[in-house]
């Protein structure tokens, strides 16, 4: 396609997005549009098709390791890095969007607060949410990457954060990347372990929320707390 035709096509794509949003786009067209911002003077439509055909769908493209993305013919390190930024930007947006949720007084509010924190995360990450007696959020931090069983829980880090924030109630959360949102036996054992340890310092474990994509489970709702 001649250079001037590339420009005209790209402009039409951008105008289509501005008028109709992404709902009118096929997944490969979304990638085609995004890649126009880091690949100059080249038809990015075939590359969009190739990415979807290789990885399956838009989210899998974004979650693919950068080394795998760079194997795609026509996708440079710069372009692959641009794609890897998309989940991170989405998480930042939704975390700040959900930042207005200051009091976690229901399972639904906990889920809305925590699910965005796992956008684009492909490994297990454990969060601790510290709250006061009214379940108002005082702090929320990653306390460890990965969790296998209760013996690996860093209770010292949990207690240090509780003391620092003067928290009386806490929520534990972790994700199941590419797995069921339902708790495993290890999750149940770990929850009991944390609950018992926190009881010794008069801190209440409000819930343990497990996230997988847009789905979640509450161990309190399942009567494990």
Tens digit of each residue's pLDDT, the chain (225 residues): 454 455 688 888 889 988 888 888 999 999 999 999 998 878 899 999 999 999 999 988 998 999 999 999 999 999 999 999 998 888 787 766 655 668 898 999 999 899 988 888 878 899 999 999 999 999 999 988 865 555 467 788 899 999 999 999 999 999 998 778 999 998 999 999 999 999 999 999 999 999 998 899 999 999 999
| pLDDT value at residue 65 | 92
CB 103 within 8 A of CB 134: yes
**Ramachandran assignment for 11, one of left (phi > 0), alpha (psi -120 to 50 degrees), beta (any other):** alpha
97 exposure class (CB count in 10 Å sphere: 0-12, 13-18, 19+): exposed
| pLDDT value at residue 88 | 85
101 exposure class (CB count in 10 Å sphere: 0-12, 13-18, 19+): middle
CB 129 within 8 A of CB 104: yes
| pLDDT value at residue 135 | 94
Strand order in the sheet with 125-131: 137-145, 125-131, 169-175, 204-212, 215-218
Q: How far apart are CA 64 and CA 69, in angstroms?
A: 7
- Write out the two tokens for 102: 């200051």
| pLDDT value at residue 29 | 93
CB 14 within 8 A of CB 32: no
**Dihedrals phi, psi of 131, to nearest 5 degrees:** -140, 165
- Write out the two tokens for 222: 């399942």
Q: Which residues of 39-76 are buried (b: 16+ CB within 10 A; e: fewer)?
A: beeebbbebbbbbbeebeebeebbbbeeeebeebeebe
- Write out the two tokens for 193: 């372990």
| pLDDT value at residue 3 | 47
Q: How far apart are CA 222 and CA 203, in angstroms?
A: 21
**Ramachandran assignment for 126, one of left (phi > 0), alpha (psi -120 to 50 degrees), beta (any other):** beta
| pLDDT value at residue 4 | 46
CB 187 within 8 A of CB 208: yes
């Amino acid at each position: 396609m001649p250079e001037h035709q590339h420009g005209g096509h790209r402009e039409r794509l951008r105008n289509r997005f501005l008028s109709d949003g992404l709902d009118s786009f096929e997944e490969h067209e979304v990638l085609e549009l995004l890649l126009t911002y880091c690949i100059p003077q080249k038809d990015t439509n075939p590359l969009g098709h190739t990415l979807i055909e290789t990885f399956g769908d838009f989210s899998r493209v974004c979650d693919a390791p950068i080394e795998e993305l760079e194997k795609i013919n026509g996708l440079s390190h710069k372009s692959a890095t641009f794609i890897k930024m998309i989940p991170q930007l989405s998480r930042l947006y939704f975390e700040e969007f959900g930042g207005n949720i200051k009091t976690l007084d229901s399972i639904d509010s906990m889920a809305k607060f925590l699910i965005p924190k796992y956008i684009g995360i492909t490994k297990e990450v454990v969060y601790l949410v510290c709250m006061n007696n009214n379940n108002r959020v005082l702090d929320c931090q990653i306390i460890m990457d990965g969790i296998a069983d209760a013996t690996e829980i860093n209770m010292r880090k949990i207690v240090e954060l509780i003391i620092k924030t003067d928290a009386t109630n806490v929520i534990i959360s972790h994700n199941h990347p590419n797995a069921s949102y339902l708790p495993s036996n290890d999750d149940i054992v770990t929850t009991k372990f944390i609950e018992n340890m926190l009881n010794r310092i008069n801190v209440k474990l409000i819930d343990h929320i497990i996230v997988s994509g847009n789905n979640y489970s509450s161990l309190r709702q399942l009567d494990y707390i």
